[in-house]
Structure 1
Amino acid sequence: MIRLVVAAALAVATLAVALPAVDDARAARTDAAIEGTVDRIERAGRSLATTEDATATRETAATRRIEFRLPARSIAAAKPAFVAVGGQPDGPGDRPTVTYAVSSSRRRHLRLPVPLRTPEGPVVFREPGRHAVSLALVRSNDGPELVVTRAAGW
């Protein structure tokens, strides 16, 4: 009986020591996945701005669709609170940033050769699952700009 109690106590102590490391690994894995998505958004924006011509409307503009998946909380991944393209959630849009929160809030500035515009404020994703954003190269009065919207069909 004493062996069983000692074994249970050691198991609980080992688990208590290991859980913070597991949580850190989950957050790091999710951070890496989101950073990969941010890299793809940045590359798509640069590619559009340097290889395509801007048009007057989004309907006729050259576009890029970037698909990604936000994980649900699991043994291998942390669930992000949000991912926002174009600014903070509930904040002003038209910012060349992607902001997200996993274990702590992070913001990454997008290095783009043209301004970024989000017509309906920041494009925010909160739910786990598959998502996509659309980038379109549109000509405004001030010159070309990348218009970012939630891609249809998701």
Structure 2
Amino acid sequence: MIRLLLAAAVTAALLATALPAVEDARTERVAASLDADAERVVRATESLAYGEDPTQSLSTAPRRTVRLSLPARSWTAADLSYVAVGGRPEETESRPVLTYAFSGGRETERRLSLPVPLRTPDGPVVLRDSGTHTLSISLLSESEAPVVVVRSV
């Protein structure tokens, strides 16, 4: 009986010390995936800026699509509150950033090194549900300079 209680106590102690490391690994796994998604947005924008001519109409503008995959909470993925392209969800101005926050408050902002300014028509594109989301990236001519317009499809 004492052996059983001792084994249970040791198991509980090992589990208690391992859980923070598991949570860190889950968070880092999701962050690495989102960093890869951010790189795909940058590459799509570079492809447009360096390989296409901008137009003045969104309907005829050259475009690329990028899929972002937001994992559901699991043993291998931390729970995301949101992912936003163009700024934080409460902002109204567009900035060249991909921002994401985990449940519990940890927020990360990753700057996107884009060759042209980024615009989001209705504020940042905010994704909150797990699953695959598609972004449309179009190259427009505004005033005297091209801009890239990002929208959720």
The residue type paired with residue 22 of structure 2 is V
Alignment of 1:44-63 (within 5 A): 44-63=44-63
Give the corresponding residue for 1:42: 42
**Contact 1:64–1:134 (Cα < 8 Å) also in 2:** yes
SS of the residue 1:139 aligns to? strand
Cα distance per residue 1:53-102 (max 9 Å; x no partner): 00111111110100121011101111211110001111123211111113
Give the corresponding residue for 2:152: 150
* Partners of 1:79 and 1:53 in 2: CA distance: 40
* Partners of 2:77 and 2:10 in 1: CA distance: 26
Identical pairs, percent? 48
Give the corresponding residue for 1:116: 118
Give TM-score, length-normalised by structure 1: 0.94
Matched, 1:136 2:138: yes
Give the corresponding residue for 1:72: 72
SS of the residue 1:147 aligns to? strand
SS of the residue 1:138 aligns to? strand
* Partners of 1:92 and 1:147 in 2: CA distance: 15
**Contact 1:99–1:105 (Cα < 8 Å) also in 2:** yes
The residue type paired with residue 128 of structure 1 is S
Give the corresponding residue for 1:13: 13
What is the Cα-based RMSD across aligned positions, in Å? Answer: 1.1
Which consecutive residues of structure 2, in runs of 5 or more, have no partner in the other structure?
none
Cα distance per residue 1:127-149 (max 9 Å; x no partner): 11111111000111132100000
Give the corresponding residue for 2:90: 90
The residue type paired with residue 29 of structure 1 is R
The residue type paired with residue 99 of structure 2 is T
**Contact 2:92–2:122 (Cα < 8 Å) also in 1:** no
SS of the residue 1:59 aligns to? coil
Give the corresponding residue for 2:30: 30
Moved over 6 A (4+): none
The number of residues matched between the two structures is 151
The residue type paired with residue 26 of structure 1 is R
Cα distance per residue 1:14-52 (max 9 Å; x no partner): 100000000000000000000000000011111101110
* Partners of 2:46 and 2:17 in 1: CA distance: 45
The residue type paired with residue 12 of structure 1 is A
